[in-house]
Structures are given as structure tokens and as C-alpha cells.
């Protein structure tokens, strides 16, 4: 039994270090992608690195939450994966060379996001029943944000049974989702490194700043689509 516990501890420690390294790479490359001209070689390169780093961050979050059960980490990890995958797929849809009918593969992230969002809303009720209140409101807020994103994406798929090439609205979607992913990464960094009371300030302040940035970039690109 002690050997198993020791092995689990070692595995958890190794994956945690890997998770931190990938998170640091995502923070650096994501920032470069944000501040460099969109569509340029540097933006494209750092954007790809950011995407793969975030996939590894989300995957390692899933493993960490499994080795040492942490439903909060699990939900936030899937939350980040939903945004980065949706952002990447939006770029794929924009670059289509012919009409494209979405398949189950395209819709699967929506269903996973929907289930995760519902879990993030319902699980706090279970926590309250056992008098565990730490972090429940943060989980509910991010769950509501995830459900809102899924709802908007479902509307896009419902109203557009066939995607046409070079629809610039997908660029707006790409920017919003990638910025949202970077916000989630920055939030995770602040929460784990900075000690501040009340802690909800660290959880929500990057989101508020990020919303303003997303609105700014969306306004710029919407002007280009007219």
C-alpha cells in the first residue's frame, strides 16, 4: 500500500512539474501571439506553440485531477481545453477552400463543454450539502460562462448547417476563444503564485480585463468584415 502511495506521489509530482512548464510556455507564447501582428509569421508560430502547450496543460490537469481527485481542477482543465480547441477549429473553418458540413467530430467539444458546464453548476450544490463552501461560487461563475459559450456555439452550428470558406466571423471567434484561453492560463498562474485576500479578486479580475480586450479586438475585426 505504501509503495502504491509513493508511486502515485512521484507520478503526481512529475506530472505537476510538466504541467507548470507547459503553463509557463503557454503564458510566454500566448503573450507574444497577442502583441504581434495577426497573421504574421511570429504570430502563427507562437500561436501554434500556445495551442499545443495548452492542450498539454489541459491534459495534465485531467491526469492530476484523477491521481488526486480534484473536481475543481478537472472542470477548469476541460473549460480551458474547450476554449483552445474551439479557437483552433474556428481558424480551420475560416481557411476552408469549399463548403463544409460539420460532423460529429466538430460537435463533440460542444457536448463535452455542455456536460462540464452543467457539472460546474450542479456540483457546488453537492458541496453545500456537505458544508463545503470554498470555491463554489467561482466554480458556478465559470460554469455559467462555459454554458454561455456553448449556447452561442450551438446557435452557430444550428443556424449554419454548412460552413462557407473565408467567413471572417470565424476570425472573430478565433480571437475571442484564444484570448479567453490566455485569460484562463493567467488566472491559474495568479491564483497559484500570488496570495491575495479576498481570493475571488484573483479569480475574476483577469476575466474582467480579458472581456474588455476581447471586446476591443472584436470591434476591430467586425469593422473589417463590413
Q: Return d(Cα 63, Cα 61) in angstroms, integer.
A: 5
Average pLDDT across the chain, whole number: 84
Q: Which residue has the higher pLDDT, 220 or 153?
A: 153
Query: What pLDDT sits at residue 79?
Result: 86
Query: What pLDDT sits at residue 4?
Result: 47
Judge whether 18 and 55 are in contact, CB under 8 Å: no
Instruction: Indicate the pTM of the whole model.
Output: 0.85
pLDDT at 176 over 80: yes
pLDDT one-digit tens code per residue, 15-48 = 999 999 999 999 999 999 988 888 889 999 999 9
Cell numbers placing 106? 466538430
pLDDT band at 196 (very low <50, low <70, confident <90, very high): low
pLDDT one-digit tens code per residue, 48-87 = 999 999 999 988 988 888 888 777 778 888 888 999 999 9
Q: Which of 62, 72, 71, 90 is nearest to 179 (CA)?
A: 90
Omega into 198 within 30° of 0, i.e. cis?
yes
Q: Which of 188, 183, 107 is nearest to 150 (CA)?
A: 107
Amino acid at each position: 500500500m505504501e509503495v502504491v502511495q509513493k508511486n502515485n506521489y512521484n507520478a503526481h509530482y512529475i506530472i505537476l512539474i510538466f504541467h507548470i512548464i507547459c503553463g509557463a510556455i503557454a503564458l510566454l507564447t500566448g503573450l507574444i501571439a497577442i502583441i504581434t501582428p495577426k497573421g504574421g509569421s511570429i504570430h502563427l508560430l507562437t500561436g501554434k506553440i500556445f495551442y499545443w502547450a495548452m492542450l498539454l496543460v489541459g491534459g495534465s490537469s485531467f491526469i492530476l485531477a484523477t491521481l488526486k481527485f480534484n473536481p475543481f481542477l478537472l472542470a477548469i482543465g476541460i473549460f480551458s481545453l474547450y476554449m483552445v480547441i474551439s479557437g483552433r477549429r474556428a481558424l480551420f473553418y475560416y481557411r476552408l477552400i469549399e463548403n463544409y458540413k460539420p460532423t460529429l467530430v466538430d460537435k463533440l467539444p460542444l457536448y463535452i463543454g455542455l456536460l462540464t458546464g452543467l457539472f460546474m453548476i450542479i456540483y457546488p450544490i453537492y458541496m453545500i450539502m456537505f458544508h463545503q463552501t470554498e470555491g463554489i461560487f467561482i466554480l458556478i461563475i465559470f460554469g455559467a460562462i462555459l454554458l454561455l459559450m456553448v449556447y452561442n456555439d450551438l446557435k452557430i452550428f444550428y443556424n449554419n448547417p454548412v460552413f462557407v470558406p473565408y467567413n471572417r466571423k470565424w476570425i472573430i471567434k478565433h480571437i475571442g476563444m484564444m484570448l479567453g484561453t490566455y485569460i484562463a492560463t493567467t488566472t491559474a498562474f495568479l491564483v497559484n503564485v500570488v496570495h491575495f485576500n479576498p481570493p475571488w479578486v484573483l479569480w475574476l479580475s483577469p476575466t474582467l480585463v480579458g472581456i474588455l480586450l476581447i471586446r476591443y479586438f472584436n470591434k476591430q475585426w467586425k469593422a473589417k468584415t463590413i
